[in-house]
Homo-oligomer: A and B are copies of this chain.
């Protein structure tokens, strides 16, 4: 059963992953469903069982499948975790609420990048931090975003009038990865300056998010919800039990 040594442009294990993911997104496979066994998939793709094993294992780590020894592999309940960590989650949330919005760049400063990331990630020569002052406007109330950004590659994405349609693909095409983000959240009174920008009382409660990425990018966001009482929705996921071992919570 020796398949020719020539490998196609995209790895076989990747194709198998895509096949399963397509089955899930198309609705052929629903959460809780049992997917074909490794042996069946190997036959279907003329692949070795180890290759299938690797593809399925990776999908398990990524939270798309649950494997049970002796029983089979099942489609997991999946909630994407991207919106939590991304720059645009606030605008996204507003969009889902059906509110029109647009954004304006108020200010753009630049400075040197923080420092080189371990293990040679994508940090080109002369990398700089961009610090953007962005006024984000909904149809009901303006939302002020102070955005300090990173890497020249990013800038074009954010210097457009309306960046509400930017997706991670756009970042990835520019070889930018959001691998880690540190978050800080607290509630503060708006204060006179923010209050004026957001057109709210300076004593009104206001959500402040500070997000720091792996390159030293810092994103400070002040938010006053359009409809008080509604909340932003975040989703997170553990990578696995080992990752949280013995960390107090």
Contact = CB atoms under 8 A, between A and B. Distances in A.
A167 to B, nearest CB: 5
Given A84-B236, A184-B231, A66 B118 contact: yes
A95 B248 CA distance: 11
B88 A249 contact: yes
Interface in A142-196: 164-169, 172, 177-189
A182 to B, nearest CB: 5
Contacts of A15: none
A130 interface: no
A124 interface: no
A31 interface: yes
Contact of A76 (B58, B118, B165): B118
Given A185-B232, A244-B80, A166 B239 contact: no
Given A119-B32, A120-B66, A214-B77, A179 B92 contact: no
Contacts of A92: 248-249
A185 B185 contact: yes
B247 A180 contact: no
Interface of A: 31-32, 58, 61-63, 65-66, 68, 71, 73-77, 79-89, 92, 95, 117-121, 164-169, 172, 177-189, 203, 205-208, 210, 214, 223, 225, 228-249
28 contacts: A66-B118, A66-B120, A71-B120, A77-B180, A82-B243, A82-B244, A84-B183, A85-B236, A85-B238, A88-B248, A88-B249, A166-B248, A166-B249, A167-B248, A168-B246, A172-B245, A177-B241, A179-B238, A182-B234, A183-B233, A184-B234, A186-B231, A187-B188, A187-B207, A187-B223, A188-B229, A237-B239, A239-B239
